[in-house]
Amino acid sequence: MACADLGAAIADLQSQGYRIDVIFPADEPYSAFLSRDGDSVHLTSRPDAPQPASALPQFEPAFVITHGGASGEGRAGMGYRDLIPGRLGRRYIASHITMAAGPVADWVHYHHVRLQLIAVRRGWVRVVYEDQGEPFVMQAGDIVLQPPGIRHRVLESSEGLEVVELGCPALHATLADHELKLPNGRGDPARLYDGQRFLRHIAAAGGPIGLAEATGGLADARLIRTATEFPPHDGELVFGFAMEGNVDLVFDGTHQLGATDAFVIPPQQPWRLSNASDDFQLLLLTTARLD
């Protein structure tokens, strides 16, 4: 069923007792599947738009810088600002996400992803995850790795909440789990989901993030606080997000970066940061060759 306004069409069906089973993409939804008593409806505002693929899209390296920009309305009323507009061949998506204070109109769901990570820049958000105990609050600087298929739900957020999210592939489905109630009364921190385990890094506790161990070497994350030189990366993605402060990125010229700016460096290329401010903090994410 084609529609001009996906959100309005979903609301109309929900008023008739339908519930969302699948929706995509999260940052700018244009397609959703809903059901009621065995009846299924596929809504789309873009009939010719691509569908999530079972195989990873081909990686297309590029040098990318994003400064500011407007946010669009995404899933569950969240605001999404695109940090990798070209998506590197639809391989990666990174978003600067904002939410209004109070309860979030979310439901228990999971994603068909190879990699998904969330870091809090401002405020706090209360979340709950399958087999990870009771709901908990993520504060500024905290990071979670959401392994493929793990059920979870966003419960509520503070005023001024800001998070950065990175996912692979860029176009992936969000699927509802209508049967599972969270918390589900279990704690299994060692459980593997497609070879990855859930990771919660608490900034106030200090120590390394531990992403490489949790992903089996698929990805790594560091917080950079000083001007630094970086050798060529023998992997795939090199993504940086300025959490605080200012710095000069030196690659193909000199580029001034401020808080919430982001960049991607092509693999096999050296680069450096210079003239960092005293409050400078950069979240640096890298991945192995996923193929």
Where residue 281 sits, what CATH number does that domain have? 2.60.120.10
- The answer to whether residues 284 and 221 touch, using CB atoms and an 8 Å cutoff, is yes
What number is the average pLDDT over the span 37-51? 96
What number is the average pLDDT over the span 213-229? 97
Burial of 215 (0-12, 13-18, 19+ CB in 10 A): buried
As a whole number of angstroms, the distance between CA 271 and CA 257 comes to 14
The parent domain of residue 232 ranges over: 219-287
Binned at pLDDT 50, 70 and 90, residue 72 comes out as confident
* H or E, element range at 9: helix 6-15
- For the chain, what is the domain count? 2
Structure tokens at 178: 């209508």
What number is the average pLDDT over the span 203-224? 97
* Mean pLDDT, the chain, integer: 96
> Could you read off the pLDDT of 10-23 as tens digits, one per residue?
999 999 999 999 99
Query: Does position 291 have pLDDT exceeding 90, yes or no?
Result: no
Binned at pLDDT 50, 70 and 90, residue 73 comes out as confident
Cα–Cα distances in angstroms (integers) from residue 23 to residues 33, 69, 89, 130, in the given order: 6, 25, 21, 20
Determine, yes or no, domain membership for 281: yes
Structure tokens at 180: 């599972």
| Among 41, 29, 27, 34, residue whose Cα is nearest residue 5 | 29
pLDDT at 70: 75
Determine, yes or no, domain membership for 17: yes
What number is the average pLDDT over the span 120-141? 97
Determine, yes or no, domain membership for 196: no
Determine, yes or no, domain membership for 6: yes
Determine, yes or no, domain membership for 54: no
